[in-house]
Amino acid sequence: MADKIRIGIIGAGGYSKSRHIPGFQKLPDVEVVAVANRSVASAKAVTDQFGIPEALDDWRRIIERKDIDAVLIGTPPNVHREITLAALAAGKHVLCQTRIAPTPEDALAMHDAAEAAKDRGILTMLIPPGPFYKGRRFVQHLVESGYTGKLRQVMAFNLSASFADAETPLTVGRNDLELYGPYHGSSIGLAYDTMMPWTGPATRVIAHRSTWTPERPKTEGGPLAKAPYPEETSVISETAGGAVVMNVMNSAIRFAESRYELYGEDGSVVYQSRGDTILGARKGDEKLQPLPIPPEHDNPWLIEQEFISLLRGEVTEPSFSFWDGVLNARYLEAVYRSGAEGGWVDLS
């Protein structure tokens, strides 16, 4: 790997602008050299904001450049497979935003191409979900060190009022079947990724889905269109680790707080979204008490630094891989099938 690593950005949306580009630009001997968006105008707005040399309207021009070592793929999932396979074939390292792909088949094709590219020294990494990122490693330590004992029940609640009003348009959030595919589960998938290191992957699932407002304005004050995704999804999973997991997403309720709850044979842990507050208690304690995150288990957002360290050989494996993305895609498909058809869906 050259002393300076040159990055091309494909799809510079809100997350790329708020986290990834600033993260790369803070690192020594790393340069973001080009941005490709769907229009030159939108790409130029980003390059002007961050002082990046080139704005493009075709991602293929980034792939073709010989002086670009790696790409960040920040597009919607429907084109992740095409761009990833082209980048790997061209010898580019790939950092791809989650979700990895709209279907398990696309996700597996990306994983297989990434495994084959390793033989040529080409590396890949999937960006982990941002919510609850800071404390998840400490929660994992509490589980693995025996604080909770063997987990029996784990619950995720991702709750908001995003679609509590019937007038809220479909342009809010990610509500496009063409871009995100039929299995898109909103925060259901993010929660699964967060919990999987604590519980192991799901072995079978059963799901319930609800939609209270089946039609919404396509745009603010515009004509009505069918809502493509449910406002509520509740999933019960059996897991490889033995815990029963409940994963609840509801975007149409008010005054609710997102959180994770872990209940084991010896202790319990509650991770609240507000302030990354973690509470815990063990057998013999009177009640839950705050558990400050120790410095050695603090997990600040350093994803861009981790990716560069991976390319330089300073770490050997990414913390979140394309295979994790495959497991996520399979889970979301199973949740969709169970919610649509009824009954348990096996994942083992």
pLDDT tens, residue by residue, 273-316: 988 999 999 999 999 999 999 999 999 999 999 999 999 999 99
Give the confidence band of 2 by pLDDT, cuts at 50, 70, 90.
low
The confidence score (pLDDT) of residue 186 equals: 84
CATH superfamily of 5-127+302-320: NAD(P)-binding Rossmann-like Domain (3.40.50.720)
Residues 71/8, Cβ–Cβ less than 8 Å: yes
| pLDDT > 70? residue 231 | yes
* Average confidence (pLDDT) over 172-180: 93
Give the confidence band of 1 by pLDDT, cuts at 50, 70, 90.
low
- Residues 36 and 50: their CA atoms lie apart, in Å, by 14
The confidence score (pLDDT) of residue 3 equals: 84
Beta bridge partners of 79: none
Q: Identify the CATH number of the domain defined by range 133-299.
A: 3.30.360.10
Domain edges within the chain: 5-127+302-320, 133-299
Residues in the chain: 348
Residue 343: partners with Cβ closer than 8 Å, 6 or more residues away: 206
The confidence score (pLDDT) of residue 326 equals: 98
The confidence score (pLDDT) of residue 217 equals: 96
Would you call the peptide bond into 99 cis, given omega within 30 degrees of 0 as the criterion? Answer: yes
Give the confidence band of 185 by pLDDT, cuts at 50, 70, 90.
confident
* Average confidence (pLDDT) over 135-146: 97
| pLDDT > 90? residue 127 | yes
* Average confidence (pLDDT) over 13-25: 96
Q: What is the rounded average pLDDT for all residues in the chain?
A: 96
pTM listed for this prediction: 0.96
* Average confidence (pLDDT) over 139-144: 98
- Residues 219 and 291: their CA atoms lie apart, in Å, by 44
* Average confidence (pLDDT) over 317-340: 97
Percent above pLDDT 70 for the chain: 99
* Average confidence (pLDDT) over 117-141: 96
The confidence score (pLDDT) of residue 274 equals: 87
